[in-house]
A and B are shown apart, each in its own frame.
Chain A
């Protein structure tokens, strides 16, 4: 583990409790003021691009084209027309984001649940069933999570469009996402499941539980926090993915996700300038909700993921 679990610090003396000399305390207040100013500057720099787009998305179309978003502070005028246009307008050239939004959901939910279900079983197998070659196989899986997924795309596309005949359908996208998620999911879940105390598993075995019972009645409930964290990550990963969609979704309004449609719109920036802010925010709503409501899990997942290396 390269990262200490958060909370460890609480047991230690914190900096504020340390009885500093008068001089040190004054000095600390000064650095803290400098830090606050630096923090405000960095935070502003980091937020402005997103904030600007957010403001733009509520401005009337002709104003987006002719004036910068900061003009709202001088001459405020807002409308929801852009959102109505990109979501619901019909016609050949319309953005149609309502349909793509549904597609994104239809892609992301199965592509989150499938890999996690399969990976949990494999992680249990690697962590708690001893067999020859398990170490080598696990290292192979560890290595595979680093291999660029582009390496598998062309033959996979050939298999999907030839042998299986599912190219351009939801199952093709689900399977691709599932496969690509497996190595990392197995690795992270293995780290978690292997940490379950041996006595807990031994006690269940002594009581006569077999592997199936141990897995479903013990491992699965105990792993729920880890499953939640990894699930959030996988969901966001799939929701935000462009590459897999580009190769396997066929780009149709029936299957393609929001990211792919947004990329098409950005590709023709000049013609779509007034639609893009609203379109981008529609693609951001779900990740932002996930981010703000589940930030705790999100951070915990990040910290768990960093134990590698």
Chain B
């Protein structure tokens, strides 16, 4: 029944969009040639511009505005939300966590992806396909399902009881030591790093697919030439192959970096941000729902936005450079 109503909505929604298009097109064609040329582009991009302006740009600006208001959104409180955030040790820890995520996850995922791509290139076509699929498979898995999978790896039972989590079973079995409640130990950021491993596990396949395609695009002649010059495998890899795929390496790194900066689901499903594992995306949801403070949530996400701006600047700059090269 719900499916049926959804299908009706789809058909209805698409029909309405089409009618809007026909209507706009009709009006534009009734005008003279000069105006038709001027208005025609907006028949195609107008609807999108309206949607993006109303539901994306305006809300984003308003979020910034709301960050200067209190929890009810009625009283202007200046920078109070920000001073209260930056005055709290918990929030500084959140920023530290985000920094660690940025430093560790993209680089590790790219490194593993590169390693896998190189190995995959050497094992023969059939094995390569199977090998790549196993690394790539987590790409299709949601963060929540991944969190469930890894909760079972990290799960803890008190000493003396049978350990059903793989990691603790190994620890108690191999070292005969006590089981460790992994997700609650934030000494040396252990629990945060265990969460990062899940995200590296998810992203390595993405990096591998792109890097593998790039490696296969490296001209065979350059590799041959380096071998003839007496370079060993490692030298050939780092001095001939890597420089030629550096654009892809950077692109993959930035894509994962952008995802990691907004990371939320994994932390939400694994610890809920407790035990010192919170990140900006998690803090946003906590302020909004757990503490019912949209003003402070807006301030949190504004901090995140400020952190993302350099990445946007870099991406726009390299996009423009690429366009002028065309």
**What size tier do the contact residues of chain B reach?**
35 or more
Residue among A171, A179, A277 making CB contact with B52, cutoff 8 Å: A179
- Contacts known (A103-B2, A131-B41); A46 close to B201, Cβ less than 8 A: yes
A64 to B120, CA, bound (A): 36
Asked if B251 and A4 make an inter-chain contact with CB atoms under 8 angstroms apart, the answer reads no
Interface pick from B84-92, B100-108, B142-150, B188-196: B142-150
Q: Is B51 an interface residue (CB 8 A)?
A: yes
Residue among B10, B47, B153, B209 making CB contact with A110, cutoff 8 Å: B10
1/0 per residue, CB under 8 A from A, across B266-305: the answer is 0011101000000001001100100000100110011011
A186 to B281, CA, bound (A): 26
User: Could you tell me which residues of chain B, from 106 to 144, have a CB within 8 Å of some CB in chain A?
Assistant: 115-116, 118-120, 122-124, 127, 130-131, 133-144
User: Could you tell me which residues of chain A, from 141 to 170, have a CB within 8 Å of some CB in chain B?
Assistant: 141-144, 146-156, 159, 170
A118 to B49, CA, bound (A): 11
1/0 per residue, CB under 8 A from A, across B301-314: the answer is 11011001001100
- Contacts known (A141-B52, A287-B140); A12 close to B219, Cβ less than 8 A: yes
A303 to B220, CA, bound (A): 21
- Contacts known (A141-B52, A150-B301); A122 close to B44, Cβ less than 8 A: yes
- CB closest chain-B residue, reference A43: B134
List 29 contacting pairs A-B, 8 Å CB cutoff, sorted by A: A4-B216, A31-B233, A42-B131, A46-B138, A50-B137, A50-B149, A52-B153, A53-B152, A121-B44, A134-B41, A144-B57, A146-B315, A149-B262, A150-B304, A153-B284, A154-B62, A154-B66, A155-B58, A156-B59, A178-B51, A186-B48, A240-B145, A276-B148, A276-B151, A283-B144, A305-B255, A306-B251, A308-B251, A308-B319
Which residues of A does B touch, CB under 8 Å? 2-6, 8-9, 12-15, 18, 24, 31-32, 35-36, 38-39, 42-43, 46-50, 52-53, 56, 64-70, 102-103, 105-106, 109-110, 113-114, 117-119, 121-122, 124-126, 129, 131, 134, 137, 139, 141-144, 146-156, 159, 170-171, 174-176, 178-180, 182-183, 186, 211-212, 215, 236, 239-243, 246-247, 259, 262-263, 266-267, 269, 273, 276-277, 279-280, 283-284, 287-288, 290-291, 295, 298-299, 302-303, 305-306, 308-309
Which residues of B does A touch, CB under 8 Å? 2-3, 5-7, 9-10, 13-14, 17, 21, 25, 38, 40-41, 43-45, 47-49, 51-52, 55-60, 62-63, 66, 115-116, 118-120, 122-124, 127, 130-131, 133-145, 147-153, 155, 162-166, 169, 201, 204, 206, 209-210, 213-214, 216-217, 219-220, 223-224, 227, 233, 247-248, 250-252, 254-255, 258, 261-262, 264-265, 268-270, 272, 281, 284-285, 288, 294, 297-298, 301-302, 304-305, 308, 311-312, 315-316, 318-320
